[in-house]
Structure 1
Amino acid sequence: MNYNLNKLADDKKKPSTIASLKRLLQLIANERRPLLLALIVILVNSGLNLLGPYLIGHTIDTYVVTKRYHGVLVFSAILLSMYLIVLLTSYLQTKLMGSVGQRLLFTLRNAIFNKLQQLPVAFFNQNKAGDLISRVNNDTDKLNQFFSQALTQFISSIATMTGAGIFLLVIHVELGLAALCPAAIILVFTKIISPWLKKKNAVNLKSVGGMSAEIQESLDNFKVIVAFNRRDYFRKRFDEANRANYRTAIQAGLANNIFLPVYSLFSSLAQLVVLTFGIYLISKGQFTVGLLVSYLAYCVSFYNPLRQLASLWSSFQVAMAGWDRISQILSLETNLTIIQKETSTMNNPVLEFKHVHFAYPGGKEILHDINFSLESGKTYALVGPTGGGKTTAASLMARLYDPTAGTVLLNGRDIRTFEAAERSQKIGFILQEPFLFSGTVKENILYGNPAYQDYSGEQLQELVQAKGLGELLSIFDGGLETQVSSNGDDLSLGLKQVIAFIRAVLRNPDVLILDEATANIDTVTEQLLEKILQQLPQETTLVIIAHRLNTIENADEIFFVNLGEVTRAGSFNEAVERLMHGKSAS
Structure 2
Amino acid sequence: MKPLWRINKYLYKYKGLLLLGIVFTVISNIFVIIPAQLVRIAIDYVVESFSLYRPLMQGGMGEIAREIFLEYVFIFGILILVMALLRGFFLFLIRQTIIIMSRRVEYDMKNEIFEHYQDLPLSFYRKNSTGDLMARITEDVSRVRMYLGPAIMYGLNLLILFPLVIFYMISVNAELTLYSLLPLPILSVSIYFVNNLINERSEKIQRSLSGLSTFVQEAFSGIRVLKAFVREEDSARNFAEASEEYKHKSIELTRVNALFFPLIMALVGISTIITVYVGGIMVIEGEIGYGVIAEFILYVNILTWPVTSLGWVTSIVQRAAASQTRINEFLDVRNDLVSTENLEADFAGAIQVKDLTFVYPDSGIKALDQVSFEIKAGQTLGIIGTTGSGKSTIANLLMRMYDPTSGQLCIDGVDIRRYDISDLRKQIGFVPQDVFLFSDTISNNIAFGLDRPDQVLIEKAAKDADVYQNIVDFPKGFETMLGERGITLSGGQKQRVSIARAIAKEPRILILDDCLSAVDTKTENSILTALKRIMENRTSVIISHRVSSAKLADHIIVLSDGKIIERGDHDSLMDQKGVYAELYEKQTQSGEPIDG
TM over 0.5, shorter chain: yes
Aligned residue for 2:482?
A: 485
For the pair 1:53 / 2:39, whether they are aligned, the reply is: no
- 1:249-398 to structure 2, matched below 5 A, reads 263-309=264-310, 325-340=326-341, 350-361=351-362, 363-376=363-376, 377-398=378-399
Maintained 8 Å contact 2:349/2:539 = no
Task: Give the secondary-structure state (helix, strand or coil) at the position aligned to 1:436.
Answer: coil
Q: Which moved more, 1:98-107 or 1:82-91?
A: 98-107
Task: Give the secondary-structure state (helix, strand or coil) at the position aligned to 1:75.
Answer: helix
Q: CA deviation at 1:85?
A: 1.6
> C-alpha separation between the residues in 2 aligned to 1:256 and 1:315?
16
Aligned residue for 1:525?
A: 523
Aligned residue for 1:574?
A: 578
> C-alpha separation between the residues in 2 aligned to 1:406 and 1:244?
55
Deviations 1:86-108 (A, max 9, x none): 23333333444554454444434
Aligned residue for 1:4?
A: none
Aligned Cα RMSD in Å? 4.1
> C-alpha separation between the residues in 2 aligned to 1:437 and 1:343?
29
Q: CA deviation at 1:48?
A: 0.7
Q: CA deviation at 1:43?
A: 2.5
Aligned residue for 1:544?
A: 542
> C-alpha separation between the residues in 1 aligned to 2:364 and 2:236?
33
Aligned residue for 1:437?
A: 438
> C-alpha separation between the residues in 2 aligned to 1:566 and 1:233?
49
Q: CA deviation at 1:493?
A: 1.5
Identity %: 23
Specify the code of the residue in structure 2 equivalent to 1:493: G
> C-alpha separation between the residues in 2 aligned to 1:126 and 1:217?
22
Aligned residue for 2:425?
A: 424
Q: Which moved more, 1:180-189 or 1:279-288?
A: 180-189
For the pair 1:511 / 2:506, whether they are aligned, the reply is: no
> C-alpha separation between the residues in 2 aligned to 1:309 and 1:426?
58
Deviations 1:12-68 (A, max 9, x none): xxxxxx234433453354433233333333332221111111121122224532447
Maintained 8 Å contact 1:267/1:304 = no
> C-alpha separation between the residues in 2 aligned to 1:100 and 1:565?
57
Q: CA deviation at 1:489?
A: 1.1
Q: CA deviation at 1:302?
A: 1.5
For the pair 1:449 / 2:444, whether they are aligned, the reply is: no
> C-alpha separation between the residues in 1 aligned to 2:231 and 2:354?
44
Q: CA deviation at 1:183?
A: 3.8
Specify the code of the residue in structure 1 equivalent to 2:491: L
> C-alpha separation between the residues in 1 aligned to 2:336 and 2:465?
40
Maintained 8 Å contact 1:562/1:582 = no
> C-alpha separation between the residues in 1 aligned to 2:520 and 2:301?
79
TM-score (norm 1): 0.80
> C-alpha separation between the residues in 2 aligned to 1:495 and 1:565?
33
Aligned residue for 2:590?
A: none
> C-alpha separation between the residues in 2 aligned to 1:151 and 1:560?
64
Inter-CA distance 563–25: structure 2 relative to 1 (3 Å threshold) = same
Specify the code of the residue in structure 1 equivalent to 2:428: I
Maintained 8 Å contact 1:429/1:514 = yes
Inter-CA distance 477–484: structure 2 relative to 1 (3 Å threshold) = same
Specify the code of the residue in structure 2 equivalent to 1:422: D
Q: CA deviation at 1:491?
A: 0.7
> C-alpha separation between the residues in 2 aligned to 1:101 and 1:211?
31
> C-alpha separation between the residues in 1 aligned to 2:368 and 2:291?
88
Aligned residue for 1:400?
A: 401
Aligned residue for 2:55?
A: none
Specify the code of the residue in structure 2 equivalent to 1:41: F
> C-alpha separation between the residues in 2 aligned to 1:157 and 1:326?
29
> C-alpha separation between the residues in 1 aligned to 2:297 and 2:344?
81
Deviations 1:221-268 (A, max 9, x none): 444444444557766776776677667666766777776555555444
Aligned residue for 2:25?
A: 42
Gaps (5+ residues) in structure 1?
1-17
> C-alpha separation between the residues in 2 aligned to 1:251 and 1:332?
39
Inter-CA distance 111–347: structure 2 relative to 1 (3 Å threshold) = closer
Task: Give the secondary-structure state (helix, strand or coil) at the position aligned to 1:65.
Answer: helix
Inter-CA distance 410–199: structure 2 relative to 1 (3 Å threshold) = farther
Deviations 1:285-312 (A, max 9, x none): 3222222221222122222432355556
> C-alpha separation between the residues in 2 aligned to 1:522 and 1:507?
26
Maintained 8 Å contact 1:131/1:212 = no
> C-alpha separation between the residues in 1 aligned to 2:508 and 2:37?
81
Deviations 1:56-87 (A, max 9, x none): 11222245324472543332332222222223
Q: CA deviation at 1:542?
A: 2.3
Specify the code of the residue in structure 2 equivalent to 1:375: I
Specify the code of the residue in structure 2 equivalent to 1:82: M
TM-score (norm 2): 0.79
Task: Give the secondary-structure state (helix, strand or coil) at the position aligned to 1:475.
Answer: helix
> C-alpha separation between the residues in 1 aligned to 2:243 and 2:417?
44
Task: Give the secondary-structure state (helix, strand or coil) at the position aligned to 2:578.
Answer: helix
Inter-CA distance 342–492: structure 2 relative to 1 (3 Å threshold) = closer
Inter-CA distance 524–226: structure 2 relative to 1 (3 Å threshold) = same
Inter-CA distance 219–337: structure 2 relative to 1 (3 Å threshold) = farther
Task: Give the secondary-structure state (helix, strand or coil) at the position aligned to 1:535.
Answer: helix
Q: CA deviation at 1:445?
A: 1.7
Maintained 8 Å contact 1:132/1:209 = no
Aligned residue for 2:10?
A: 27
Aligned pairs, number: 558
> C-alpha separation between the residues in 2 aligned to 1:476 and 1:511?
26
Inter-CA distance 561–474: structure 2 relative to 1 (3 Å threshold) = same
